[in-house]
Amino acid sequence: MVFSIQSTLKTLVIGTGLCGALLAHPPARAAEAMLWQDVQKAGVLRCGAAVAAPYVMRDAKTGDYSGYFVDLCRDFGEKVLKVKVSFVDTNWDNLVAGLQSSKWDLAMALNQTPERALAVAFSVPATDYQVSLLVNKNNPKVADAKDEIAALDKPEVTFAVMSGTAQDKAISSVVRNGKIMRLPGMDEARLAVMSKRADVLVDASDTNHLFALANPDWTREILPKPALAKQGVAFGLRRDIAAADLEALNIYLRQRRDAGEIQQLVDKASVEANSAK
């Protein structure tokens, strides 16, 4: 009996000690990256820049960047982090991969998708996005098209889109019979429709609207119903970013959006994009 009591007490003591040890050492988890601290130490915020007006634009002669995501990136770096801002030229196919390999700290103008969220973290949206279509209103192949993609999804109809973009993925998911012409840039996609090598231009609604305004004599915009790929447009960051760092960027974006300042930047970039054309 004495042996039994002593054994029980010994077991309780050992068990209590193990519980204490477990409480003192919680399960290990991946370390969070203190991104802004590292950026401030380096003295520069690197922004990955894949061109798509009016989000991100680049002057072919000077190499200077503009666009409303460029303005936001520059403002956040200079006024919040107090560092220089560098824009790193890339393309849409490599924008996420470069972020994952730390070639840049922020990826500008990334559409929020569940698949991308498995690879990167997102800020809150700076603006909203949806895919629209633009056609030549004199083209008999698309003359009867209204706002349903099914009316355009025919073997004789070719859709022009920039390869690797959110609009590429969106149109690829709904076109079953038509042809999809994937091109390296939006200028090439627009030229394909202008030269009638393609029938439908697939792009973000705001950039398609800009193009339509610049070419009112032959263009017609189509906003598909139901909406195609309506998403937020945000900054992309590494998935291991510290929650506090992400919230600092989110507070900045919420305040600027709520004050109407981001819309002002969008309007400014839209005027610039049309002037350049």
pTM attached to this predicted model = 0.66
Q: Are residues 90 and 168 in the same domain?
A: no
Q: Which SS3 state, helix, strand or coil, does residue 73 take? A: helix
Tokens encoding 93: 């196919």
pLDDT in tens, 43-55: 999 999 999 888 9
Say how far apart CA 206 and CA 129 lie, in whole Å.
Answer: 8
Q: Are residues 177 and 226 in the same domain?
A: yes
* Per-residue model confidence (pLDDT) at position 225: 86
Q: Are residues 65 and 184 in the same domain?
A: no
pLDDT over threshold 70, residue 16: no
Q: Are residues 146 and 214 in the same domain?
A: yes
Q: Are residues 121 and 243 in the same domain?
A: yes
Q: Are residues 139 and 225 in the same domain?
A: yes
Q: Are residues 99 and 168 in the same domain?
A: no
- Residue 74 belongs to a domain: yes
Give 170-221 as a DSSP string.
HHHTT-SSSEEEEESSHHHHHHHHHTTS-SEEEEEHHHHHHHHHH-TTTEEE
Q: Are residues 175 and 257 in the same domain?
A: no
Domain holding 158: CATH number? Answer: 3.40.190.10
Give the domain extent around 248: 35-128+231-276
- Residue 195 belongs to a domain: yes
Say how far apart CA 238 and CA 119 lie, in whole Å.
Answer: 8
Q: Are residues 250 and 180 in the same domain?
A: no
Distances (CA, A) of 128 to 3, 180, 217: 73, 25, 28
Question: Sorting pLDDT into bands at 50, 70 and 90, what band is 247?
Answer: very high
Weakest-pLDDT range from 20-29, 136-145, 256-265:
20-29
Q: Which amino acid is at 50?
A: A
The percent of residues above 90 in pLDDT, for the chain, comes to 69
* Total domains, the chain: 2
Q: Are residues 143 and 205 in the same domain?
A: yes
* Per-residue model confidence (pLDDT) at position 15: 47
DSSP designation for 241: B
Question: Sorting pLDDT into bands at 50, 70 and 90, what band is 262?
Answer: very high
Q: Which of 230, 251, 267 represents a domain boundary (last residue)?
A: 230
pLDDT over threshold 60, residue 30: no
* Per-residue model confidence (pLDDT) at position 31: 63
Q: Are residues 107 and 78 in the same domain?
A: yes
Instruction: Report the pLDDT averaged over residues 192-214.
Output: 91
Q: Are residues 121 and 255 in the same domain?
A: yes
Q: Using alpha carbons only, give the angle 31, 35, 36 rounded to the nearest 5 degrees.
A: 140
pLDDT in tens, 61-85: 999 999 999 999 999 999 999 999 9
Weakest-pLDDT range from 21-25, 114-118, 224-228:
21-25
Question: Sorting pLDDT into bands at 50, 70 and 90, what band is 98?
Answer: very high
* Per-residue model confidence (pLDDT) at position 230: 87
Say how far apart CA 40 and CA 43 lie, in whole Å.
Answer: 5
